[in-house]
Chains A and B, each alone.
Chain A
Amino acid sequence: MVKAKINNVDVEVPEGTSILWAARKANFTIPTLCSHPDLVPGGQCGVCVVEIEGIPGLKRACMTPLGEGWKVHTHTARLMEIRRQLVELILSYHDTDCLTCIKNNNCELQTLAATLGINTVEWHNLEERLPIDRSSVAIVRDPNKCILCGRCTQVCSNMQTVNALAVNHRGYSTVITAAFDTGLGNSVCINCGQCVVHCPVGALYENSHIEKVWDAIHDPDKFVVVQEAPAVRVMLGEEFGMEPGTLVTGKMYAALRRIGFDSVLDTNFSADLTIMEEGTELVSRLKTGKGLPLITSCSPGWIKFMETFFHDMIPHMSTAKSPQQMFGTLAKTYFAEQRGIAPEKIVSVSIMPCTAKKFECQRPEMRASGFQDVDFVLTTREIGRMLREAGIDLNEMPDEKADSLLGEYTGAATIFGTTGGVMEAALRSAYFLVTGRELESIDIAPVRGLKGIKEAEIDIDGLKVKVAVAHSGGQARRLMEKVQDQLRSEGKSEYHFIEVMACPGGCVGGGGQSWGSNMAKRARRGESLYAEDRSLRYRRSHENPSIKVLYEKFLGKPNSEKSHKLLHTHYYKRSTVDGNIIAEQ
């Protein structure tokens, strides 16, 4: 522990704690624009400079560990003046059309300028309007808003190891772009949106489908169905000022009905269905011993990551579509049939904690219903905005239920929203499918939590099934490299089943979550999902009554020919240069 004084207040913090965090402990907030609790500080903005008695010059609080006995001053007159000038410098280069900015009221720069009481910018306006990058179906990049804090590039290279975005050119011409400055849509970007989530300003945001969804809702000829991903129910509350992780399933249904969706359904239903298909696939691979380890396919960021960097793993991928896409297919086939609605009239909308889902729904092969299966994808942020536009306060909503056919779900489905959830759900059902008995302890603790790579071993009828769970591109890369090595050197891997999610924390940490998120919030959302799981009557996918009906009336059995046609997919080999498809596999 280190003892020191910050603005004459005694603090004691573990060795290595930066002055920035130590000061928060002493209840002083040192402003910063570039550092983020989940990232390594880069020292770009300089706003957090402090004075330390006896040490010449100013030090950046974000990257200076507090020293024993130091006397630190964080808000002297000189520091406050310097901070104002630095922020004014940033503003001189920044597109300050705040009112029309997507981050209006959520912008760290805007907040900081207000906090520091900046009322004029003394410097020249250096702003040069550069073209906005709209090449990606998922993510928009506005260089005019970028303050070059480096969070997005750090996330993209270190956390995700995708290396789509990088700092290019030099000095005053420095920009953050994809290679060759040809736009994110022509890069290896996996659309995970972690850059979006970490951006302090409005330089990165999702390619919005709001207008298109409003148009559909307001079109009397369209029948608009909506599905919500597992993680959305523990996220949406934050858009309305609730505590992170507040479970709002019933309120969410009610709100969606009120803004005019014709049928409010739930992705959790198709999450259970995914388990039936993927679980069956696992069981058959365990029996034949071929194609192991089986790797999950729910995360569209992970899919593109795998297609780009690890396409030799394609034979190991589960062919089961993600819950979003299974739902999409069923909405325009089974649901249309059962409800007697012409599928061409159905507009299928999904609400996702994810930006990559916008890419997934537009993949050319995702048209098993004969139409684009999912038409529009809204992030949690977008639906929050729509509800506010419609004058709806989620806090005031009653608890309602989802509509039937594609609405019922089990606890296994709801934990899909956090890392390890798909694995746990699959094991619960796989155990039953193999043994005909239920798992004794339904909670599989080793695959829970936010550890980078988690491993567990489950005895299924004498077969020790070894599983691994990875979340974030970086951890996925580590795990896949290990598996590749094992496959190459021994011909087989120690693992039977692997879950991969592209985002840290799983979907609760997705690129479509509320602004200002961090790992602590992600953890609380995950805990909420486990709490919902415990509270539900059914906790295993194969127990879902609506799923049973679906198989009886429509699909036959899991992995049937019809299931394969509608609910399974295939993958591509992609270029490491521009992410384009090179070959179908």
Chain B
Amino acid sequence: MVNENQCNCEQAQEEELYDKLQEIIKEHKGKPKELIMALHKAQNLFGYLPHKVQEMVAEGLNVSLSEVYGVITFYNFFSTVPQGRNDVKVCLGTACYVRGGQMLLKKAEKELGIKAGETTEDRRYSLGIVRCIGACGLAPAMLINDDVYGRVKTTKMIEIIKKYE
């Protein structure tokens, strides 16, 4: 019984998300040119773009599925894998790269046990790369969710990351 309840709860949450997605799609219905806007909103909702979401967006906006997938895989911003609760992004813009961004990334990969573009099994963290967040004066920079960390040292990095549950 307990399990069933949990299951229902999750399902209900998911259903709610899909209801919201329908509203988004309605807003952009039959407008292929608004694909990227719609995808932004959908990803905002789900945290990533699962297949079913892509299919619904394709149908709603009257764009072929292959085109939707082509657009999603073109842009850095869109993700087709579930995101962790916390989005860790290491800046690899030129300034950060030169000041050790690559080392930060390697350290993060090692500590979290995942590669850039992946999510930890417990979904606590996703690791990614960002190309310049305009914080070049603070290089090397790291972004966790909306928080910017500047002048990050490899030794301090894990401490910072661990603050995020």
Contact = CB atoms under 8 A, between A and B. Distances in A.
Do A and B touch, yes or no (CB under 8 Å, in the complex)?
yes
A179 interface: yes
Given A180-B51, A577-B55, A168 B65 contact: no
Contacts of A163: 64-67
Given A169-B74, A170-B74, A180-B51, A576 B65 contact: yes
Contact of B59 (A164, A170, A179, A576): A576
B68 interface: yes
Interface residues of B, number: 15
A179 B68 contact: yes
B69 A180 contact: yes
Given A180-B51, A576-B59, A577-B55, A165 B66 contact: yes
A188 B74 contact: no
Contacts of A168: 66, 69-70, 73-74
Nearest to B55: A577
A460 to B, nearest CB: 39
Nearest to A171: B74
Contacts of A179: 54, 65-66, 68-69
Interface string A406-423: 000000000000000000
B65 A169 contact: no
Nearest to A167: B70
Nearest to A169: B73
Given A168-B69, A170-B74, A180-B69, A157 B51 contact: no
Nearest to A173: B73
A576 B59 CA distance: 9
A166 B74 contact: no
Which residue among B54, B66, B68 has the maximum number of chain A CB atoms within 10 Å of its CB?
A: B66
Interface string A166-187: 1111100000001110000001
A288 B50 CA distance: 49
A169 B70 CA distance: 7
A157 B64 contact: yes
A180 B72 CA distance: 10
B59 A166 contact: no
Interface string A145-159: 000000000000100
A442 B68 CA distance: 49
Contacts of A167: 70
Contacts of B58: 576
A169 B51 CA distance: 16
A179 B54 CA distance: 10
Interface string B48-83: 000100110011000011111110011100000000
Nearest to B75: A170
A163 B71 CA distance: 13
Contacts of B64: 157, 163, 166, 188
A188 B64 CA distance: 10
A168 B66 CA distance: 8
A171 B68 CA distance: 18
Chain A to chain B: the 5 pairs with minimum beta-carbon distance, closest first: A163-B64, A166-B66, A179-B69, A179-B65, A169-B73
27 contacts: A157-B66, A157-B67, A163-B64, A163-B66, A164-B66, A165-B66, A166-B64, A166-B69, A167-B70, A168-B66, A168-B69, A168-B70, A168-B73, A168-B74, A169-B74, A170-B74, A170-B75, A179-B65, A179-B66, A179-B68, A179-B69, A180-B69, A187-B66, A188-B65, A188-B66, A576-B59, A577-B65
Interface of B: 51, 54-55, 58-59, 64-70, 73-75
